[in-house]
Amino acid sequence: MALLAVSGLSKSFAARTLFENVSFEIAPGDKVGLVGVNGCGKTTLLRILTQQEAPDGGTIYKSRDARLGFLQQNVEGGGQSLYQYTLEAFAPLLAAEAEFAGITARLEAAPPEEVPLLIRRQGALQERLSREEALTMRSRTRSTLLGLGFSEGELEQPLSTLSGGQRNKAQLARLLLSDANLLLLDEPTNHLDMESTQYLEDFLRGYGGAFMVISHDRYFLDRVTSRTFELKHGTLRQSNGNYSRHMELNADRNEILRRHYEAQKREIRRLEGVIEQQRRWNQARNYVTIASKQKQIDRLKAALTPPEADTASIRFHFTAQEPGGNDVLICEGLSKSYGHPLFQDLSLLIRRGERVFLLGPNGCGKTTLLRLITGRERPDAGAVRHGARVKTAYYEQIMDTMPPERTVMEEIQEAYPRMDGTAVRSALAAFLFTGDDVFKQIGTLSGGEKARVQLLKLMLSEANLLLLDEPTNHLDIDSRDALEKALEGYAGTLLIVTRDRYLVNRLADRILYLSPQGLQEYIGGYDDYLAAREAEKEEAARSLPQAEAPRKQNAYRAQKERQSAINRARGEVRRLEEKIAQAEAALAELQEAMASPEVAADYVRAGELAAQGEALQQNLDGLYAAWEEAQEALDSLEGEGRA
């Protein structure tokens, strides 16, 4: 039975129809990717499914068993700490826990006639807390936040002090911990670095529920989805398979449609030729044939279905004005700190024609390195040198350098004053700014529109060294594909910072991974990089230089001692959990006895059992406290092991 079923859904804004007659079902366990160009209505569809917006028409059926969880693109900050905000994923259990504690406190002073009722309620709460794994909700919250890239120190920071990206990650953590069995995720990989995205992928691949995810990250979609929905030209097309399979099926469908369309047109031309010939013969019987053939033509024209038109996308190519020298970029001994060191003694060499990608965790200094290369910032130590005849153009991730009051056309004319108005309009049209769009103010543009303005300025520069900082952010899949094709045909040199693994796989000659230990070099694309990292781990585990043997032995001994301590801590946690289970069973048995009519009628017996129940509860509370201490000790030991 479907968790969610949609039939004939439609939505319009003013004179623009986003989509109409949209129908689909999501069954338990479905893993659906929702794709389409920016502005086609993907987010609106999710908001309709969560009843945040109303459709113009159609129906939505939600199963009684469906528990929806919705990840929006933005979440406001608050006074709670990051940990407290995320722990609220377990709000019903927290409320049950608070009620349990309140009943325990009330039992001490409760009148005898209320004691049996309180104990029964306490037992029911205890059973629920045990059944729904309340004992592990705090450790699960902590481990999820750490898995998404938060540090221990950030867990107690107020949510309001975190960046927008960090707040979105907190919202994601809260959603992943909820009991929802149908997740609706709107761009969940935004603001995640590659390691956190990998964590999310692993979670979704093992997730037992269903989800629908909006994403422009093709690598991510290919790894986590098994069905694909595409909103295009106001309709919804569905395919079984991930994004790449969907595109293959689309291409096959379009080719079949094209061939059928051409065959229909050929048949129409043939019939028109027959009619022309019959007219030349000009006999009565010929006009009977003409009428018959004309009816055939009319039927064919009525059924004539042209192939689906492509969605409008940007069209451009990059041109390098002149090749420049062989050594394009040399960095020697670069160091940079902002209160704490980002990197020290960093050196690199990029040669003409190379396509180099700079990867690394958030905050490691990738953007800072590009700004040092462009001269926008100065290093604390070291030097940057550009090769002979090197002309650099820089695409900034933060697009707030363009004056918000300036129009799109004025922005291009300011950057390239030698271009006349006709040339500027023609260039803007290739980037989907047509008609009055060219007079839009920069401050009113969406992220995707600002990105297109930046890319146009980059294209017109004719630079032979492009420095790109997250160039696919804000771009839909069609625009990303157009950018990749343009970069593939570019004859100059590329240094690109990105989290777009599909882009890395498609273009990279070489990957530089930036970490506090410096730069590590890997040859090839992202999959090659992953294979090399895995091989490094295996090699490190298999053998070390002889000189490091004593240190290895000490490290091994320390690891063994730590693992032994972890095993002891796990044993203590299990032992306490067994005792808790026994105590809970004894308390439940006592409560069952107290609920019997015989005891209820015997005031003395009820009092004795109530006293025993209080003693059992005190023992249980002590076991809970001991379990929490043991679990915290285990978490600490496991955290040291991960570090």
Considering only the C-alpha atoms of the chain, give the largest distance between any 2 of them, rounded to a whole number of Å.
118
DSSP letters, 554-584, are: HHHHHHHHHHHHHHHHHHHHHHHHHHHHHHH
Q: Which element (helix H / strand E) includes 327? A: strand 327-338
Residue 640's nearest CA partner among 552, 528, 548, 558 is: 558
CA 636 to CA 624: how far, in whole Å? 18
Give the pLDDT of residue 230.
94
- Whether 616 and 586 have beta carbons less than 8 Å apart is answered as yes
pLDDT, mean of residues 394-405: 84
What pLDDT score was predicted for residue 292? 87
pLDDT tens column, 295-353: 988 888 888 777 766 655 677 788 887 777 789 999 999 999 887 888 999 999 999 99
The bridge status of strand 518-523 relative to strand 510-515 is antiparallel
Distance CA(119)–CA(126), nearest Å, equals 10
**Percentage with pLDDT > 70 across the chain:** 92
Q: pLDDT per residue over 76-129, tens digit each?
A: 656 788 898 888 888 888 888 888 888 888 887 888 888 888 888 888 888 888
pLDDT given for residue 508 in this prediction: 92
Q: Is the pLDDT reported for residue 549 higher than 60?
A: no
> pLDDT per residue over 120-157, tens digit each?
888 888 888 877 777 788 888 988 888 888 888 888 88
Whole-structure pTM value: 0.69
* Res. 75 pLDDT band, cuts 50 70 90: low
Question: 22 falls in which pLDDT band (50, 70, 90)?
Answer: very high
Q: How far apart are CA 447 and CA 449, in angstroms?
A: 6
Give yes or no for residue 49 having a pLDDT over 90: yes
Mean pLDDT across the stretch 366-373?
93
In this predicted structure, the answer to whether residue 427 has a pLDDT above a threshold of 70 is yes
Q: Which of 25-34, 425-434, 625-634 has the lowest mean pLDDT?
A: 625-634
Q: Whole-angstrom Cα distance, residue 403 to residue 413?
A: 13
Mean pLDDT over 194-200 rounds to 85
On average, the pLDDT of the chain sits at 85
Is the pLDDT higher at 590 or at 553?
A: 590
Contact between 269 and 297 (Cβ < 8 Å): no
- What are the phi and psi torsion angles at 496 (to 5°)? -125, 130
Query: What letter would DSSP give residue 546?
Result: G
Backbone phi, psi, residue 348, to 5°: -155, 155
At 384, the pLDDT band (50, 70, 90 cuts) reads very high
Q: Both tokens of residue 630? A: 């043991």
Pair of tokens at residue 553: 């032995």
Predicted pLDDT at 184: 93
Give the model's confidence band at 599: pLDDT under 50 very low, under 70 low, under 90 confident, else very high: low
Report for 28-32, 64-68, 185-189, 231-235: range of highest mean pLDDT: 28-32
In this structure, what DSSP letter does residue 178 have? S
Average pLDDT over residues 460-464: 91
What is the SS3 assignment for 401? coil
How far is 538 from 20, CA to CA, in rounded Å?
53
Q: Which is more confident, 490 or 558?
A: 490
Beta bridge partners of 5: 25, 61
> E strands of 141-220, at which residues?
182-186, 210-214
Q: Rounded to the nearest 5°, which phi and psi values hold at 66?
A: -80, 130
- In this structure, of 195-209, 290-304, 530-544, 554-568, the range with the lowest mean pLDDT score is 554-568
Distance between CA atoms of residues 168 and 182, nearest Å: 19
> Quick check: 585 pLDDT over 90?
no
The pLDDT score that the predictor gives to residue 320 is 81
* Averaged pLDDT, 578-606: 74
Q: Which comes out higher in pLDDT, residue 261 or 508?
A: 508
Residue 511, pLDDT above cutoff 90: yes
Identify the pLDDT of residue 215: 92
Scanning the structure block, which residue is given the tokens 């406001």? 76
Is 7 a residue whose pLDDT tops 90? yes
Please report, rounded to a whole number, the percentage of residues in the chain having pLDDT higher than 90.
Answer: 30
According to the model, what pLDDT value does residue 560 have? Answer: 58
Q: How far is it, in rounded angstroms, from Cα 91 to Cα 142?
A: 16
